[in-house]
Amino acid sequence: MSAYLQDGLPSPVANNLDAPFWKGLQDNRLLIQRCANCSNWQWGPEWICHHCHSFELDFEETKASGVIYSYERVWHPVHPALASQGPYLIVLVALPAAGAVRLVGNLLGDPRQDVEIGGRVEGVFEHHLDAESNYSLLQWQNIPLE
Amino acid sequence: MSAERTLRGRAVVAGVAETTYYKRGESPDDEFKLALEAITGACRSAGISPQEIDGFASYSNDRSDASRLAAALGIHDLRFANMQWGGGGGGGSGAIGNAVAAIATGMAECVVVFRALAQGQFGRFGQGPRRNTISGEFAHTVPYGLMSPAQMFAMKVTRFMHDHQVQQAALRAISLASYQHAQNNPRAVMYGRPLDEQQYDESRWIVEPFHLYDCCQENDGAAAIILVSAERAQEFDHPGCYLLSAAAGSHHRAGAPVHNAPDYATSAFKTLAPRLFEMAGVGVSEVNVLQSYENFTGGVLMSIVEHGFCTPEECNDFFTLENLTAPRGRVPLNTSGGNLAECYMHGLGLNIEAVRQVWGESSNQVSGADISMVISGPMVTPVSACIFGSEATL
Ligand SMILES: [Zn+2]
C-alpha cells in the first residue's frame, strides 16, 4: 500500500526507550511496554513503571486492535510536506488488550468520513522503505459492523 | 513559631506595563529590549527605580535571562531568579505565585514577573519541525501529521465536546467575546477589527473543532507586573490590588507521553481549582471578572467548567456572548480582548487586565470588580491560576 500522508515528514528514529516498538512495526508486530514486576502496561515508554516503580520493563506483543478514543480532522497543513495533502484524519486509539494505553495514528479511507468515537479499528502496518528511510508506522482502519 | 501557610494578602501589585503589541515578526525591537521596556514601564507605573527590583520570575523558558536583566538594569542585590517549568502559557499565574512566595517568605522584596516574545527574531510557535528525522515522544505523533499546538489540543476538545454534547456555538461565543472587548481597547491588535457570527462560521477550519478564530494570534511584545509586600500598599498611587491565591500543577500523570493521561479530555485544572479557591477564601460565585488564556477556545471552555462556573452539561446555555461580555454579563471573560484579540503575550496580558479590573482601569470595566481571576494555559502541564482582590476583600 502507499502511505496515507504525502512524503516529506520527519522519519521516526528509535531511541533507547522505544527501539523495540519501532523494530516490531517493521516485523508487522505491535510491541508495547509492560512491567515485568506488576504486569502494568505503559505507554509512551518510560524507564520506570509508574505503578510499582520497577525498572524491569519489557516489551510485549499485543493485538493491533483498538477503539477510537478521540480524533481530529486537520485542514490547515503546518508542514510544507503536507501543503497539497488536503484534509486528513488523526485518531487516538485505545488498546483494550493492553491496559487501554493509547496510540496516535491516521484513520485510513475517506478523510471526510464521519468518525465514531468508540468505534472499533484494526491496525495496518505502513512500511516506508526507500533510499532515505527505513521505518514503519501503524495506521488504523474501521472494522465493519457484522 | 509557625505562620499560616498562605499567599493570601501577602503581596500587592505595585505596577504593570506592556510594550506596544505587534503582529508576529513586526516588532522593530529585539526581544531583550522589549523585556527591558516592559520592566521599566512597570517601574514607572509603580513609581520606583528599576534598581529597587531584586527578583525576576518568568515561565515558558523565557529567553531574557535574569542575570543579564539584572546587569542591564544595574541591580545591586539580585535575590530571586525563578523560572516556572513548562511550555505554553501554563506558567503565567504560577510565576506570580512564585514571586509572591518569595516576597512572603522574605527571600525577596520587589519581584517583577515578565514575559517577552519576538517570534520574528526567534522563530514561530505552531510550526512543524523542519528536520528530516525525529525521535523521542514526537516520533510517535509527527509522522502522522500531529505536530502543532492546535493539533495536540483539538484531540482533547473533541472528546470533551463528544462526551458532553457541547455545540460549536459555545466555542464561538468565547471568540466573539474577546473580539467584542477588543473593540474598546486601543492596545488590542484587533482594535477596529470586529468579528461577527457569520465571519466566524465562514472562517476556515484549522483543525476541527477549531476555526481560524478559535486560535490565538501570534504576536511580539512584552509585559511585566511588579509585586511587593502588602505592607507597602500605601506607597503606590494605585488602589490596592492584592494576590489572594495562586495555584499551579496538574492532575495524575497529566504529562503521560503520547496522549496517555488517564483523565484525558481536560484542561488540567480539576486538582488546582479547589486549592485556588480555598487559599483565596472565596467561592466561584464571588468572582466578578475572569480572564482565561485562549490558546484555543476549547481549552477556555474546559477550564471554566473545571473551576465550577458551570457544569459540563450546562455549557451550551452558559457560553453565550451575553453571559461573557462586560459590563453586565454573568462572567465577563477576557475583557481586554485576551490572547485572541488583544495580544498573545503568552497570557501575561491577562494578568495585567485582571489587575486593571481591580484598579477600575479596564477598557471594559466591570463595576465593583473586587475579585478578579486569571486562568493560565489550559491543556498544557503544569497549568496555573490566580485570584486578585481589592483592599475590601482582605
Ligand atoms: Zn510495575
Chain A touched by B202 (CB under 8 Å): no
Q: How far is A104 from chain B (nearest CA, A)?
A: 6
Mean pLDDT, rounded, of chain A = 96
Instruction: Give me the pLDDT at residue B121, please.
Output: 73
**Over its length of 394 residues, how does chain B's per-residue pLDDT go in tens digits?**
567 899 999 999 999 999 999 988 899 999 999 999 999 999 999 999 999 999 999 999 999 999 999 999 999 999 999 999 998 899 999 999 999 999 999 999 999 999 999 977 776 666 655 668 999 999 999 999 999 999 999 999 999 999 999 999 999 999 999 999 999 999 999 999 999 999 999 999 999 999 999 998 888 999 999 999 999 999 999 999 999 999 999 999 999 999 999 999 999 999 999 999 999 999 999 999 999 999 999 999 999 999 999 999 999 999 999 999 999 999 999 999 999 999 988 899 999 999 999 999 999 999 999 999 999 999 999 999 999 999 999 9
Residues of B tagged active-site: 293, 344
Q: How many CB pairs under 8 A join A and B?
A: 129
Mutate to test the interface with B, among A78, A85, A128, A134 (most CBs of B within 10 A): A78
Pairing relationship of beta strands A30-35 and A41-42 according to DSSP bridges:
antiparallel
Chain A touched by B68 (CB under 8 Å): no
Stretch A3-15: mean pLDDT: 95
Residues 6 or more apart from B267 whose CB is under 8 A from it?
B156, B299, B302, B303, B306, B378, B379, B383
Chain A CB contacts of B140 under 8 Å are 12, 18, 44, 103-104
Considering only CB atoms, B204 lies closest to which of A17, A75, A103, namely: A75
Stretch A135-140: mean pLDDT: 98
Contact (Cβ atoms closer than 8 angstroms) between residue A43 and residue A17:
no
- Note whether A18 contacts B140, CB cutoff 8 Å: yes
SS3 of B283, please? coil
Instruction: Give me the pLDDT at residue A130, please.
Output: 80
Question: Helices marked H in B141-263 — which ranges?
Answer: 149-164, 168-182, 197-202
Domains of chain B (ranges, CATH numbers): 11-120+215-393 (3.40.47.10)
Pairing relationship of beta strands B80-84 and B55-59 according to DSSP bridges:
parallel
Cα–Cα distance, A42 to A20 (Å, whole number) = 14
Considering only CB atoms, A12 lies closest to which of B134, B154, B253, namely: B134
Measured between CA atoms, the residue of chain A closest to residue B209 is: A72
Indicate whether this complex's ipTM tops 0.85.
yes
Instruction: Give me the pLDDT at residue B123, please.
Output: 64
Q: What is the pTM of this model?
A: 0.96
- Note whether B134 contacts A76, CB cutoff 8 Å: no
Instruction: Give me the pLDDT at residue B131, please.
Output: 67
Report how far apart, in Å, the C-alpha atoms of A132 and of each of A1, A10, A22, B296 are: 18, 11, 17, 37
Q: How far is A55 from chain B (nearest CA, A)?
A: 17
Chain B CB contacts of A49 under 8 Å are none
What is the distance in A from the centroid of ligand 1 to the CA of B213?
A: 44
Beta strands in B85-131 (DSSP E): 110-117
Instruction: Give me the pLDDT at residue B28, please.
Output: 93
